[in-house]
Structure 1
Amino acid sequence: MEQPGDDSGVSLSHQPKKLEPDSLNIENSDELNDSPIEEVRLTVSIRDDPTLPCLTFRTWFLGITSCATLAFLNQFFGFRNNSISLTSVSVQIVVLPLGKFMAAVLPNKAVCVRGTNWSFSLNPGPFNLKEHVLITIFANAGSSGVYAINIITIVMAFYHRHIHPLAAMLLTLTTQMLGYGWAGIFRKFLVDSPYMWWPANLVQVSLFRALHEEEVRPKRGLTRLQFFLVVLVSSFAYYVVPNYLFPSITALSFVCWIWKHSVTAQIIGSGHSGLGVGSFALDWATVAAWNGSPLAYPGFAIINISVGFFLTLYVLIPIAYWINAFEAKKFPIISPHVFTADGQLYNISLVLNATNFKFNQHGYDDYSKVHLSIFFAFAYGLSFATLAATVSHVALFHGRTMWQQTKATFRDKFDDVHTRLMKKNYDAVPQWWFYSLMLIMTGLAMLACEGFGRQLQLPYWGVLLALCLAVFFLLPIGVITATTNQQPGLNVITELIIGFIYPGRPLANVAFKTYGYISMVQAITFLSDFKLGHYMKIPPKSMFVVQLAGTVVASSVYFGTAWWLLTSVDHMCDPSKLPKGSPWTCPGYDVFYNASIIWGVVGPLRMFGRLGLYNKMNYFFLIGILAPVPVWILSRVFPEKKWIRLINMPIIISGAGNMLPATSVNYVSWITVGVFFNIYVYRRYKSWWARHNYILSAGLDAGVAFMAVLCYFTLQIRNINGMNWWGLELDDHCPLASCPTAPGIQADEMCTTHNMLAV
């Protein structure tokens, strides 16, 4: 697990209206001619025009450009203090006018390819919906991130070791593409079946239909495109303040300004290293970092996350800290780092053999057991509970419906209108395409791990075991995702398995996790996009080609961007050596690095097993299993109370799941903006919300991205980091918030010069 709760196992992008099992008689439905799922019937068109061109010059040009742009920007931001993940929604909006512009200006005569009989047109007609969908699929590949970059970063920036660039590139490519191969095996059950309806795709379908409907500019108003441009320009102009002129505005913790010499007050008030009481930000990057844009989350999800965040950060953690559970007062209250028994940062070189890069048992016995901050420890416990609660919640609330849908799927009753149209109008992707891709990528994966001096430490059997785990869990997790929009993750399971089987090897641990966990995620992403194409009536072969090309382009750009920054920015990911105001602090990768120590070097047996200090965290598996039960009972006893079914225990338990690397100020700002727009504005000004909410989110994201890139390439790349003043520090000026409060612990000079028990 690269970070506690990094994958909470719960997707929050869209919550469908719950279908009561009794109201959905799958085997005797009278509506199978359309779709047995009401939400699909209300959202997806049952018309298709197979004559519309798909893989046009415009599709390739705009698709590859948007894919590469998103990949570059997301990796560029991935190393920064406030990491923003730009989604394909921005591209979905922007490429529409660009596509229409190309249709208006490009010549329509055919272009012949020399030496062949093949020709194509630069302009085959008006820019159409199917081109738009394929470009967005391209962009999805660039926006989804490349998990393997975490491994490359910790090797180069944290362990300060060399990794062969070809091995790194193969690792990047194979982890992204392996899942695509075996997704074809389950395509029949998870795409063709009308009962596997992938509710999150309905948001995209709705937006596509809205963008392609004729729009009339309202009186004294703006079209959606005009509104997007106004927001983009405003966000672009403003972001020069938090990004360059006044970085401290990203976290304003006034409690620390009042009580400058109180450790306790700064622990309570710090937005970066403490509980963040009273802390706030005037920066969209702080709002959207780590959790994504709050404007894209439904109101019920924001409430569940808020409840979980407040219970974790303001009830559980303070109680555990001030009763000194796990000797919490010896360490910072919130920190992603690992410590010795006397509160010092753990010197990993003393327990890791520099020659063979394996665990040094004698060094460990002579040094110290690994200790965690109280938040880090409970974050792992809560991640265990989240995984268990997800399984329990899905079984209780969706089990009967899922079982009916799965039975109908295996009986091959695929006769809804969408499947019939696809089979009638388009050829399916040959199975040998999938099998060939699977075999090629498996071979390259074993080459990446076994070759190049086995730099990744993982033997071939580890690769095969990881892939077997991914394939084994793909169908059940795919069914859960396709019917409930909740996706349990395999990160905890994979880390535990390889940690016990093959301990003491940090890179083997993270490589095994990446092949087992992310290859399954990529398979589900592929199937989800294939279902989107199914709904939008895109030829399956065109979908396959675009997804494959998009993945190759995105993997290459992610790798190239990361390699360039890691080899060109001095002291990358080392805040103690970076220039003042430098944003290249890599908080997400710092957590991944410390997780590689916990699970890979020291191992789960010495952390959460019988030899560890935190074996009681295993009780959270039981807590997670039982947590949804009271809510389910109440929903059965009081069926008229519809709000009870909106209480989602996996989401509540994982409410603070992205803290580490996210901070309390990120959460407080995110919750504030989310509650205002998706609860208050949604209820009071629903027509405005429906028209502008998602476009506002896309414009804010795009403006921040463009200004950050402009500042970097014009100023920061030359080490021109703004005026040297108080506000230039990328900090909330709470230096004592990371100090321990146990007497006698010498953390650093700053902490020892103050009264550790000051109030």
Structure 2
Amino acid sequence: MEEKAVAKDISDRSSFSRSDEINDSPVEEVRLTVPITDDKTLPVLTFRTWVLGLNSCMLLAFLNRYLDYRQNPVSITSECIQILTLFAGKLMAATLPAKTIRVPGTRWTFSMNPGAFNIKEHVLITILASSGSNAPTSVTIMTIVKVFYHREYSPLVALLLGQISMLIGFGYAGIFMKLFVDSPKMWWPSSVSQVSFYRALHEADVRIRGKVTRQQFVVIVSVASFTYYIVPNYFFPSISALSFVCWIWKNSVTAQQIGSGLRGLGLGSIGLDYTTMYNFVGNPFNSPPFSIINSMVGFVLFLYVIVPIAYWTNSQNAKRFPLFSSHLFDADGRQYNVSRVLDEKSLTLNRQKYNSYSQVYLSVLYAYKYAFGYACVTAVLTHVILYHGRSAWNHFIETYRDHRQQNGDIHNRLMSKYCTIPQWWFYTVIILSVVITIPSLVIFKQQLQLPVLGLFFAIFTCVIWTFCGAVFSATANQGFDTTVIQELTMAYILPGRPLALETFRAYNNISMLQALYLLSNLKLGHYLKIPPRSIFLIQVVGEVITSFIHVGVGWWLLSTIKNICEPDKLPKGSPWTCPSEHVVFDGTVQSGVVGPSLLFFPHGLYWWTYIFFAVGIIATVAAWKLSRIFPHKKWIQGISVPILLSTPWLMPPATPVYVWAWAGLGIFFNIYVFRKHKEWWAKYNYILSAALNVGPAFLILLQSFAFQGNNIYGVDWWGLELGDHCPLASCPTAKGIVIEGCPVFH
């Protein structure tokens, strides 16, 4: 009977008509997951919230910075903190005294134990702790300056840049809060996933014979993932990408280019490392089917049509360089030696040295990655205007009116009981951030390289990109990296200043991500009926703490680990290779040192990539027009040109084997399981996503401190290699090019 009742409830909430919108959500995934009740008596900002939240935040910031420089970077996700703090919170509720305590010299009182540990406390603790996962880009800047440019970079500069760029993003969130939090159709799939996991941890779940409860399911999956991850993380790292084609044709460059899952097209390659896939590509369980399908159409078009045709027709001497690489190359096919063209004192390009050395060349994949990135930028803007422009305008007109209770769904009506965040809070954060930043840009001019006008330009563009990014995050769980347009714009405005580009990116891209992060958490609080002011306060406190710890730990690692981020000088099996930092460094060289005028237009070889700006606009307008002509064709309505164009921008550091694994899991669970086994999907899908991250996170902590902290990196055998045993995949195939370890073609 219990099982039939659950099935009936799911069926009832799936059968939904437009007239019922005010009593539930118009989005089926929300109806199946989010409760439509609230207990306003539950305490929120309690003693337990602050103690557990602050300590978890500091721990998570330390661990994520410590693990970020790894070959396969792993972040300790919020799910680990959710489980640990659940037990800690219940222990505190069972043991601490309930006596009221008065703060000396004030009228404030609090209780160390206000009752049972509740879901609202748990959410706020996790939000505060998760702030530790948000690494400020200033740490990346500090890394590339110290390691790759071999210059000093003050930790004070990194701290100021990190804190302000993150806090100012919270101000931007306030501008769009009504549109992206109150609107029922802006449903934020990632937040729905979190709701499911919290409910699994807190709500009583009666075990049905032959099945397991949600809590039991979390434990089983967590233990299984912990046990399994010993294999790819210690005994057999090569299992992350099994490229069978390379093993069969060991001496064929072409075969390895086709078969390598890490440095080629990945045909016949299999990835058995969920954690690495998750960190490079994203969460497949949260991604709506239309988002996955659009992503894979763009991925196949890019990697299996355009790139092979361009490479094997030797377009722009593509065969002189690797097929799949983010590195920069000279005319001889070798990696570009930046020190030969760099003025070390001013950190700018020496044009005379550049002319006597070589132009900068890109691999064919990297060149088309930029082309797709440019198309994606204009597609995002065009899509937002055409598909969401009218509704956005209507919401802005109503910004200062509270229509939540009258016109909203059940969640808006329940949230109307809580005080919303005053707009002046957001404006104060923006103003204070600007006031602090302006003198910093003047005082630390040599290390930041960004003029004051650049700050205001970053603020203006960030507001635009925050809106665009929120549209896709709230409807498709799809984010967009705006680095490509930021680098291009500032490189033309401030040529030859690589640090200016990264500083601008901090005040633009990172601030945008922080705004989206706050909006996502406000939506989570919206679903679970948590006061918005409490979420805002928790998040601001968390980000201030996070900046201090990330900068401090980053400085410590850079100062103590010998040859960190230099793979050729590290001992075998050492994980400190910094793949993401290498990609950022290459970006600063090509956009900041060399500049787009020499690489793209008007003097570069890759001027044709700018044509794709128009491609993005034309394709989006065409898709929008088709959706109006054929309003009843679901597959046409599901076309999203920005999502279709976005996947290539993930590569590298993402590689084909991880993209295929992500798509396979997403299609299986969000299309097949959702349609055929909806009851199972509603109960277990999102908590499966969370539990798969828990086990590996705990294992990595154990291994990092017990083994790698003592320079023990694993069993010394063939499977210890972090690659996929396709050494020839990175070789050029043009005649006469001599590269160490590669055959010479004649």
In structure 2, the CA distance between the partners of 1:404 and 1:170, relative to structure 1 (3 Å rule), is: closer
2:74 pairs with one of 55, 66, 84: 84
Residue 209 of structure 2 aligns with an amino acid whose one-letter code is K
State the Cα distance separating 1:32 from its structure 2 match.
9.3
Q: Which residue of 1 aligns with 2:692?
A: 700
In structure 2, the CA distance between the partners of 1:181 and 1:113, relative to structure 1 (3 Å rule), is: same
Residue 687 of structure 1 aligns with an amino acid whose one-letter code is E
Aligned residue runs from structure 1 range 610-689, under 5 A? 610-689=602-681
The alignment partner of 2:110 has SS state of: strand
In structure 2, the CA distance between the partners of 1:399 and 1:484, relative to structure 1 (3 Å rule), is: farther
Q: Which residue of 1 aligns with 2:206?
A: 216
1:303 pairs with one of 246, 271, 293: 293
State the distance in 1 between where 2:357 and 2:157 align. 34
2:319 pairs with one of 329, 343, 353: 329
Q: Is the 8 A contact 1:469 1:516 kept in 2?
A: yes
2:164 pairs with one of 163, 171, 174: 174
State the Cα distance separating 1:617 from its structure 2 match.
0.3
Per-residue CA deviation, residues 701-751 of structure 1 (Å, 9 max, x unaligned), is 121122122112112122122232222221211111111100011122x11
Aligned residue runs from structure 1 range 67-78, under 5 A? 67-78=57-68
Q: Is the 8 A contact 2:222 2:691 kept in 1?
A: yes
Aligned residue runs from structure 1 range 116-135, under 5 A? 116-135=106-125
Residue 279 of structure 1 aligns with an amino acid whose one-letter code is S
Which 10-residue stretch deviates more, 207-216 or 502-511? 207-216
Q: Is the 8 A contact 2:77 2:694 kept in 1?
A: no
State the Cα distance separating 1:612 from its structure 2 match.
1.2
State the distance in 2 between where 1:643 and 1:152 align. 46
In structure 2, the CA distance between the partners of 1:378 and 1:540, relative to structure 1 (3 Å rule), is: same
Question: Is residue 164 of structure 1 aligned with residue 143 of structure 2?
Answer: no
Q: Is the 8 A contact 1:463 1:515 kept in 2?
A: yes
Q: Which residue of 1 aligns with 2:10?
A: none
State the distance in 1 between where 2:313 and 2:140 align. 36
State the Cα distance separating 1:235 from its structure 2 match.
1.9
In structure 2, the CA distance between the partners of 1:598 and 1:68, relative to structure 1 (3 Å rule), is: same
State the distance in 2 between where 1:101 and 1:389 align. 51
Q: Which residue of 2 aligns with 1:499?
A: 491
In structure 2, the CA distance between the partners of 1:185 and 1:639, relative to structure 1 (3 Å rule), is: closer
Q: Which residue of 2 aligns with 1:538?
A: 530
Question: Is residue 437 of structure 1 aligned with residue 429 of structure 2?
Answer: yes
Q: Which residue of 2 aligns with 1:263?
A: 253
State the Cα distance separating 1:198 from its structure 2 match.
5.5
Question: Is residue 608 of structure 1 aligned with residue 597 of structure 2?
Answer: no
Residue 303 of structure 1 aligns with an amino acid whose one-letter code is I
Question: Is residue 756 of structure 1 aligned with residue 738 of structure 2?
Answer: no
In structure 2, the CA distance between the partners of 1:36 and 1:219, relative to structure 1 (3 Å rule), is: closer
Residue 702 of structure 2 aligns with an amino acid whose one-letter code is L
Q: Is the 8 A contact 1:84 1:288 kept in 2?
A: no
State the distance in 2 between where 1:481 and 1:54 align. 27
In structure 2, the CA distance between the partners of 1:644 and 1:193, relative to structure 1 (3 Å rule), is: closer
Q: CA RMSD in A?
A: 3.1
State the Cα distance separating 1:71 from its structure 2 match.
3.1
Question: Is residue 590 of structure 1 aligned with residue 582 of structure 2?
Answer: yes
State the distance in 2 between where 1:487 and 1:724 align. 39
State the distance in 1 between where 2:35 and 2:207 align. 25
State the distance in 2 between where 1:393 and 1:436 align. 32
The alignment partner of 1:576 has SS state of: helix
Q: Which residue of 2 aligns with 1:227?
A: 217
State the distance in 2 between where 1:338 and 1:275 align. 20
1:725 pairs with one of 705, 713, 717: 717
State the distance in 1 between where 2:185 and 2:396 align. 8
State the distance in 2 between where 1:281 and 1:47 align. 42
Aligned residue runs from structure 1 range 158-557, under 5 A? 158-184=148-174, 187=177, 191=181, 201-205=191-195, 207-208=197-198, 211-409=201-399, 413-416=403-406, 422=415, 425-452=417-444, 454-471=446-463, 474=466, 490-557=482-549
Which 10-residue stretch deviates more, 589-598 or 560-569? 560-569
State the distance in 2 between where 1:226 and 1:328 align. 54
State the distance in 2 between where 1:279 and 1:382 align. 24
State the distance in 2 between where 1:691 and 1:73 align. 31
State the Cα distance separating 1:440 from its structure 2 match.
3.0
Q: Is the 8 A contact 2:200 2:215 kept in 1?
A: no
State the distance in 2 between where 1:675 and 1:483 align. 17
Q: Mark the runs of 5 or more structure 2 residues left unpaired by the alignment.
A: 1-12
The alignment partner of 1:148 has SS state of: helix
Q: Which residue of 2 aligns with 1:12?
A: none
State the Cα distance separating 1:475 from its structure 2 match.
5.4
The alignment partner of 2:275 has SS state of: helix
Which 10-residue stretch deviates more, 82-91 or 560-569? 82-91
State the Cα distance separating 1:34 from its structure 2 match.
6.4
Q: Is the 8 A contact 2:372 2:648 kept in 1?
A: no
State the Cα distance separating 1:199 from its structure 2 match.
6.5
State the distance in 1 between where 2:458 and 2:629 align. 43
Q: Mark the runs of 5 or more structure 1 residues left unpaired by the alignment.
A: 1-16, 18-22, 25-29
Which 10-residue stretch deviates more, 368-377 or 465-474? 465-474
State the Cα distance separating 1:419 from its structure 2 match.
5.7
The alignment partner of 1:661 has SS state of: coil
State the Cα distance separating 1:44 from its structure 2 match.
6.0
State the distance in 2 between where 1:431 and 1:743 align. 64
Which 10-residue stretch deviates more, 587-596 or 178-187? 178-187
Q: Which residue of 2 aligns with 1:576?
A: 568
Q: Which residue of 1 aligns with 2:9?
A: none
2:552 pairs with one of 554, 560, 563: 560
Q: Percent identity?
A: 50
State the distance in 2 between where 1:186 and 1:650 align. 21
Q: Which residue of 2 aligns with 1:3?
A: none
Per-residue CA deviation, residues 354-409 of structure 1 (Å, 9 max, x unaligned), is 11111211111211111100000000100111122223333444445445545455
State the distance in 2 between where 1:395 and 1:188 align. 18
Query: What TM-score, normalized to structure 1?
Result: 0.88
Comparing both structures, which one devotes a greater share of its residues to helix?
A: 2
Q: Which residue of 1 aligns with 2:131?
A: 141
State the distance in 2 between where 1:484 and 1:728 align. 37
State the distance in 2 between where 1:249 and 1:477 align. 34
The alignment partner of 1:120 has SS state of: strand
In structure 2, the CA distance between the partners of 1:36 and 1:699, relative to structure 1 (3 Å rule), is: closer
State the distance in 2 between where 1:705 and 1:387 align. 34
State the distance in 2 between where 1:606 and 1:228 align. 54
The alignment partner of 2:453 has SS state of: helix
The alignment partner of 1:610 has SS state of: coil
The alignment partner of 1:655 has SS state of: helix
State the distance in 1 between where 2:20 and 2:565 align. 57
State the distance in 2 between where 1:38 and 1:250 align. 36
Per-residue CA deviation, residues 576-598 of structure 1 (Å, 9 max, x unaligned), is 11111112221111111100111
Residue 324 of structure 1 aligns with an amino acid whose one-letter code is N
Query: What TM-score, normalized to structure 2?
Result: 0.89
Q: Is the 8 A contact 2:197 2:687 kept in 1?
A: no
Q: Is the 8 A contact 1:248 1:730 kept in 2?
A: yes
The alignment partner of 1:698 has SS state of: helix
State the distance in 1 between where 2:412 and 2:692 align. 38
Q: Is the 8 A contact 1:262 1:755 kept in 2?
A: no
Aligned residue runs from structure 1 range 44-123, under 5 A? 47-92=37-82, 95-114=85-104, 116-123=106-113
Which 10-residue stretch deviates more, 341-350 or 650-659? 650-659
In structure 2, the CA distance between the partners of 1:312 and 1:478, relative to structure 1 (3 Å rule), is: closer
The alignment partner of 2:272 has SS state of: coil
State the distance in 2 between where 1:167 and 1:620 align. 37
State the distance in 2 between where 1:420 and 1:687 align. 28
The alignment partner of 1:295 has SS state of: coil
